[in-house]
Amino acid sequence: MIRVVLVDDQAIVRTGFRVVLETAGGIEVVGEASGGREAVEVVRRTRPDVVVMDVRMPGGDGIEATRAIVDARGGLGGAATAAAGGLGSSAPLGSGPALGGGPALGSGPALGADAVGGQEARVGSASAPAVLVATTFDLDEYVFGALEAGASGFVLKDVEPDEFVGAVRALASGRAAIDGATTRRVIAEFTRRRRTSAVEPSPDVLTERERELVRLLGEGLSNDEIGERLVVETSTVKSHLTRITTKLGTRDRLQTVVWAYRSGLLP
């Protein structure tokens, strides 16, 4: 059963999402929140697989909540609580990470490589809940800020129900929703507008096989699909992904694809 938390300041939106998800089967909405501070607490308490996040809530705290949820390891304990302390301030609209001079993608915890046993951290696991941003605008500062904060995918609020459910299932199964049209547009525009940091790794740090795997990530393929394409076991794909994210210092699959666009590995 996929566990989901819904975060939106409009109750009617949360109700609509709940109906769509629970009607689809195999998905349970385990919590709701109307603001960022509340969202961090609900996620800490319920340990969902996926958080559906509105980043355009009053107070502009959806981005900070996304960062707190993504960055907190070990089941969203003290780190999330501490991060939540910075939420709720009356920051001006559009505040958040500066697109031109924000931190490199390698900053913050690397969710691609688990600290325990060297295994790839699964997007959507209890230790690393995935954040799916639901927004009415697909190309604005809030969405770009959410991408920098570690969101794993984006959908528009007027998306077809099947596509919305598909995005939630993708994140819960360990995939970033890279194959969604909105996410692709966000990545392309983000990489166009944001200056590339001089300290970011070049594609040369990866082997040819690793570069090939990153290109397949950019197509939105799952680990199983990548394994079939490369004629290798899924476990081998996971091992490659662990090495790739360690080399690049990226959080997860989506952040790795962002790096690939910025580095020129993807067109």
Are 225 and 169 part of one and the same domain? no
Q: What is the pLDDT of residue 53?
A: 96
Same domain, 81 and 184: yes
Listed in order, strand segments (DSSP E) in the chain are 2-7, 27-33, 50-53, 130-135, 153-156
198 inside domain: no
CATH number assigned to the domain comprising residue 156: 3.40.50.2300
Is 82 within a domain? yes
Same domain, 181 and 219: no
pLDDT in tens, 226-240: 999 999 999 999 999
pLDDT score of 13 more than 80 = yes
**pLDDT confidence of residue 9:** 94
Q: Does residue 245 share a domain with residue 170?
A: no
- CATH of residue 249's domain is 1.10.10.10
Nearest-angstrom CA–CA distance, 223 and 112: 13
Tokens representing 153 are 């995918």
Are 93 and 27 found together in one domain?
yes
Task: Give per-residue pLDDT as tens, 154-186.
Answer: 888 988 999 999 999 989 887 777 766 777 778
Number of domains in the chain: 2
Q: Both 176 and 247 in a single domain? A: no
Q: Classify residue 132: in a domain, yes or no.
A: yes
CB 139 within 8 A of CB 162: no
Cβ–Cβ under 8 Å, residues 54 and 135: yes
* Whether the predicted model's global pTM rises above the 0.75 cut: no
Better-predicted residue by pLDDT, 120 or 113: 120
Domain that holds residue 258: 203-263
Own/partner long-range contacts of 190-194 (Cβ < 8 Å, ≥24 apart): 190/99, 190/144, 190/147, 190/258, 191/258, 191/261, 191/262, 193/99, 193/100, 193/144, 194/99, 194/100, 194/102, 194/144, 194/262
